[in-house]
């Protein structure tokens, strides 16, 4: 899986650990920054990752900030993005299965790297569901076209 990754200064350290974890698991990871823990604005990196995910069909994105909330709000402004903030392994799995989330947002101030890695793994290992979930996803997609 190709995974585009971005963070802000609050999420930098966790981003580094998740990048290493995803690479070790065999994923192709593109780290879009930042390159240090110096102060940056999270919307800039949420947009970079989101545009990359939209441009490369079948890829996914990972965003890390203090809570995951600001990143997800920003990412969801980009047509074609379904960013989900997750709070446990089950919500990460369901974000993909039920909501076809193509971007995962994790709060670095909320989770240590070992648990964040489990959430990332669950999300990456779960395909979007069909049936009633696909029908609902189609309705969500239509909102991007209004």
Q: What is the tens place of the pLDDT at every residue in 12-40?
A: 999 999 999 999 999 999 999 999 999 99
Spatial CB neighbours of 116, under 8 Å, sequence gap ≥ 6: 14, 17, 18, 64, 106, 108
Q: What is the pLDDT of residue 130?
A: 83
Q: Active site includes 98?
A: yes
Residues of the chain with pLDDT under 70: none
Spatial CB neighbours of 27, under 8 Å, sequence gap ≥ 6: 1, 2, 3, 124
Q: Just give the CATH number of 2-144.
A: 3.40.1400.10
Q: What residues does 28 pair with on adjacent strands?
A: 2
Q: What is the pLDDT of residue 120?
A: 98
Catalytic residue (one of 9, 21, 27, 65): 65
Q: State which H helix or E strand residue 30 sits in.
A: strand 28-31
* 140 class by beta-carbon count within 10 Å (0-12 exposed, 13-18 middle, 19+ buried): exposed
Catalytic residue (one of 9, 27, 98, 133): 98
């Amino acid at each position: 899986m190709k995974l585009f990754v971005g963070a802000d200064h609050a999420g930098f350290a966790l981003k580094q650990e998740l990048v290493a974890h995803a690479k070790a698991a065999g994923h192709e990871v593109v780290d879009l920054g930042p390159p240090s823990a110096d102060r940056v604005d999270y919307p800039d990196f949420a947009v970079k990752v989101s545009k990359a995910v939209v441009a490369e069909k079948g890829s996914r994105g990972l965003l890390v900030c203090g809570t995951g909330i600001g990143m997800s709000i920003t990412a969801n402004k980009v047509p074609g993005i379904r960013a989900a903030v997750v709070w446990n392994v089950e919500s990460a799995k369901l974000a993909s299965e039920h909501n076809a989330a193509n971007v995962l947002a994790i709060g670095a101030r909320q989770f240590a790297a070992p648990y964040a890695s489990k959430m990332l793994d669950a999300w990456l290992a779960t395909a979007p569901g069909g049936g009633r979930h696909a029908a609902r996803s189609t309705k969500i997609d239509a909102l991007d076209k209004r």
